[in-house]
Structure 1
Amino acid sequence: MLHDDIFIFDNAVHMYDLSDENVSRSDGILDRGVHLKIAQLRRPKGQEKLYGNGDPIAGFARQWGVEDLGRLLFEDSCTDMAMAQAVVLYDVYKKGFAPVEAQYEFARAHPDRVLFCGGVDPLYPSVDGALREMERQVRELGARSFKFYNAHLGKSWGCDDPKLAYPLYEKARELGIKVLQFHKGFPITRARLEDLSPLDIQQAALDFPDLTFAIHHLALPYFEEVVYIAARFPNVVLVLSGTMHLPLVAPWQFMEYMGRLLRDVGSSRLIWGSEAPLLGNPQPMIEWFWNMQIDPELQARYGYPQITEEDKRNILGENQARLFGVDVNLAKQQARARRASS
């Protein structure tokens, strides 16, 4: 059972716009369909009627609103805080997969509970354009971090590219941004899989030791690579977005992932992210994770440690709070007060 003082800080929620009107190219419907199918397989059963208008695919191919996501996170789950992340996937979506302005609107609607994570791309339209947009998003919209998606259909770029990527990191440093986030693995378009490899994070993390590089989705299917990267670079953290729902279909596989991460990386650099709303209400997964144990057979075979309550508290919210300078004790007090008044 969840304790009242557990602090849940979701790193990855999105105000998606998967509407027909936002698809930028005729074959973009194929990319949207693939991603929605993957999401359907990992979504708790029965949530289509609550959050998707009854249709597991078409019901989620729409523009999400502030009230939609607010109800899901803060009324239907025990989430205390969240980060609304932009995903500027302009080769498939006109305004982006998760448009910048929509994430800002959600953060503005919940100023005490939601942080805004902006997004730019050095190829849409240019490096200079991306730098100007970073300035705007921080100065005018209050961005606390930036999310990058570098794998595009025929137009990808490397996260270790000195000419395309490094000016963005230098600008982030200038603007006081300390955490940069990257979609790795978990392809949501038909861009080349190898362009989603996390290997290009290594040189960037080495060249910018004062910045934190957050790799999302455990870079699946590049799990081995991401473990060896995170184990060697203290300024790399791993966000469990897109993988925390695996227990619904593959609980043993998820325990293997967690055991390996706890053994080789440690719980202090693992962060919970739900990908709400496309993966549905995060509450079932929060509860499953809190009750989870690493199977004794896995411990005996591979030397995995048992997951502790401290590990779970770190992963579910306290690591994210520390990363973004949120006072954990104060946030817990505010969360308890909200629960008591609701």
Structure 2
Amino acid sequence: MFGFIGCNESQKSELLTASVREALNSPTTLSIADEIESAEYIPLEVTNNDASLIDGVVDFAITNKYIYVLVDKQPRIVLFDRKGHFLRTFLHQGQGPNDFRGMIGFIQADEANKRFYVIGDKIGVYTLEGEFIEDFPINYPLIYAHYLGKGRFGAVSIPFMPFQEGGFGIGVFGEDGEAIMTKNDFYSQLVPKEDSGFTFGVMSSPSDCDKQSVLFKTASNDTIFRLLSDTIQPALVAKLGNSNEEIIRGLNIRDIKKLPADGDVFVTDIFETPRYYYLRMMLNGKYYVASVEKQNGITLVEQCDIPDTKVSNLADFNIQLGLVGTKGYKQFPIWGRVLGNNLVQVVTPYELEMFKEQTKIVIPQELQTKNADANPIFIIYKLVN
């Protein structure tokens, strides 16, 4: 499962810790409003061109000029301008002469260097307008990769592959596909080494600030690690207080359980701002979000207001989970990805209707729509500098 983050924190002499389990006992409302300067609402246009229809957002990227959307059905990247006007199909996944030959898993815009990365079975490099430049090979079994600058890519190994049989864990790789550094010593005495690898607990979170990085966490360990172009280092210890069963679930590839046991906290995704880490978590079938202040480790937790439906039903591309977040800004739930100085949230009209009918959500006027089948809406929150 993947989530998205923002800017890197400054170096500290001691590793930051967060008492997440303790904070869960006294839920409150997070003060994310202190970090938001303004909000911009951008509905994506639907035209007579069927290519403008967005059937589920797999991934997205944003520049000052464009919004790129990786679509779930009929895999392709669709290009809109920053006002939400449909422009064209940026790239198809397929076998045609100008198609991306292979699976498209993730996309990333590097506006400073005028490059666009398409990551799947290989890494395709394009201009921001879609002109092909070159391909980089992927010689390692990954489930996720992100460009870190300096010709380096951070990557997470494919799950259910033993560390001792090729599972590299997390690593930094060069453009030639060769490993620069890796870390796969995520072992526990509770699981035989030959059965140890990543399972459903794996997460990775990209950053697009001056010093690009990727955050990583697995269910078998409370530590969140940061991958940079030249190092892998611990960033935060969450102190979840989970059982041995959850450690085994997150590490034993022979004992697959999709959801954590009652009483165990599962961090599903993360983003960060210059001042805080934000963690979204599941506990006993309910969602919570936590904020961790980087200056002192003070941790607050808020319970999310979600529809009365199976948690598994929320994990589809028509429901972006953008509304499973904190109501600390104008009573509207927020969860998203930090890109530069913006927190970007994606919601769908279908999702808005479901939350409106089954929760006490307050929908801003800019998000009210009569068509539940309309394209997703991008919300761009400008963060306080």
**Structure number with higher helix proportion:** 1
TM-score by length of 2: 0.32
**Structure number with higher strand proportion:** 2
TM-score by length of 1: 0.35
